[in-house]
Amino acid sequence: MSGISILGLEGTAWNLSAAIVDEDDVIVENTATYKPPTGGIHPREAAQHHAAHIADVIRKTMENGNKIDAVAFSQGPGLGPCLRTVATAARALSLSLDVPLIGVNHCIAHIEVGIWKTRARDPVTLYVSGANSQVLAYRAGHYRVFGETLDIGIGNALDKFARSAGLSHPGGPKVEELAKQSTQYIKLPYTVKGMDFSFSGLATAAQEASRKYPLPDVCSSFQETAFAMLVEVTERAVAHTGKKEVLLGGGVGANSRLREMLEIMCEERGVEFYVPEKRFMGDNGAMIAHLGLLMYKSGYSTRVSESKVNPNYRPDEAIVTWR
Ligand code: AMP
Ligand code: MG
């Protein structure tokens, strides 16, 4: 192996993952996934899961003796206890290997891995995950947030609704499956304010509707309503920025109905639509390592004294040094 290679650690929520990437590809990746026994993700329990598995995940990732030029980690946003656990490991590793530490913004890592793994160059990105839902695009030194959720992320809204209907976590894929058997559309609240959207009222209304209507119809109507909101804002960001590409990222991006709706919008607007392979959509260590590599090449590193995690780290706060 030649060139630069970076070890990346991800553990903002349910997925603990370590990867080494170089400029061409992912060399190795290992993951340990926290699955709540009941209910949703409990931050402290997820952090305990990460603490219990992180040594093993790192050991496996390093066992082939690959060269490591820097250690990158998710500095935020995410669940505080999870972030702190993984950041502690990252600091220790960077000190013991005597290589730079690089704190990366998790949302931007989703965008950059998508750009790396597709032919997108300068897209409007729809990033839809458990906790986050944002429409972003690069402009003058920052990834700007053009629109975002005013309350909970679309994934959490789907999971919350699914849980109330007796479906296990994560609910998103189960809602997608059930929606395929739907025969009617039920009107649910469609909330777009300016360029922002909100999902918690929709989740509550869907919970109520599921007492009156067949579950597949509510699942499908939830998807149609929420995804139309996301596609509307993405389309307006495309119109405003004049960009010619749309990129989808985040775990909810696995949903085929959302992809279909975005594809239709992009086709009608004459812009390209890009979706990376599924392994790069949900949270993964490779995306952290990849963004770490871009930052490392631009001369960036994080002093240990500045490596405190930030559960509310906004992507527009990060200065883009690598573009
Ligand atoms: P992330 O936070 O990016 O790892 O994504 C996790 C979220 O993606 C969870 O809320 C899941 O319910 C959601 N998700 C995963 N697959 C799907 C799917 N096929 N449709 C909708 N949501 C999904
Ligand atoms: Mg994520």
pLDDT tens digits for range 205-254:
999 999 999 999 999 999 999 999 999 999 999 999 999 999 999 999 99
The pLDDT assigned to 1 comes to 47
Work out the average pLDDT over 260-271: 98
Q: Inform me whether the pLDDT recorded for 2 exceeds 70.
A: no
Shared fold status for 5-111+282-317 and 120-275: yes
Q: pTM for this one?
A: 0.96
Whole-number percent of the chain with pLDDT over 90: 97
Looking at the CA of 282, name the nearest ligand: 1
Looking at the CA of 315, name the nearest ligand: 2
Superfamily of domain 120-275 in the CATH hierarchy: ATPase, nucleotide binding domain (3.30.420.40)
The DSSP bridge pattern shows strands 124-128 and 245-249 to be parallel
Pocket test residue of 160, 252, 258, 287 for ligand 1, highest count of atoms within 8 A of CB? 252
CA angle 310, 286, 25 (to 5 degrees): 150
CA of 13, closest atom in ligand 1: 2
Task: Compute the mean pLDDT over every residue in the chain, rounded to the nearest whole number.
Answer: 97
pLDDT tens digits for range 39-53:
888 999 999 999 999
The pLDDT assigned to 183 comes to 97
CA of 250, closest atom in ligand 1: 3
144 contacts 48 by C-beta, under 8 angstroms: no
Pick the CATH number of 5-111+282-317 from 3.40.50.300, 3.40.50.1820, 3.30.420.40, 3.40.50.10440: 3.30.420.40
Q: Inform me whether the pLDDT recorded for 193 exceeds 80.
A: yes
Backbone phi, psi, residue 290, to 5°: -65, -45
Angle between helices 43-62 and 80-97 (to 10 degrees): 20
Q: Which two tokens stand for residue 217?
A: 């119809």
Note the helical H segments in the chain.
43-62, 80-97, 106-117, 154-164, 172-179, 200-209, 215-241, 256-269, 285-297
d(CA 318, CA 142): 7
Angle between helices 154-164 and 215-241 (to 10 degrees): 170
pLDDT tens digits for range 283-306:
999 999 999 999 999 999 999 999
Pocket test residue of 14, 79, 111, 158 for ligand 1, highest count of atoms within 8 A of CB? 158
The pLDDT assigned to 36 comes to 87
pLDDT tens digits for range 112-158:
999 999 999 999 999 999 999 999 999 999 999 999 999 999 999 99
Task: Write out residues with Cβ below 6 Å of ligand 1.
Answer: 13, 15, 129-130, 155, 158-159, 170-173, 176, 250-252, 254-255, 282-283
Looking at the CA of 130, name the nearest ligand: 1
How remote is the CA of residue 154 from the centroid of ligand 1, in Å? 9
Q: Which residues have a beta carbon within 5 Å of ligand 2, which is an ion? A: 129, 283
How remote is the CA of residue 303 from the centroid of ligand 2, in Å? 24
Domain extents in the chain: 5-111+282-317, 120-275
How remote is the CA of residue 249 from the centroid of ligand 2, in Å? 8
How remote is the CA of residue 251 from the centroid of ligand 1, in Å? 4
Under the banding of pLDDT at 50, 70 and 90, the label for residue 171 is: very high
How remote is the CA of residue 45 from the centroid of ligand 1, in Å? 20
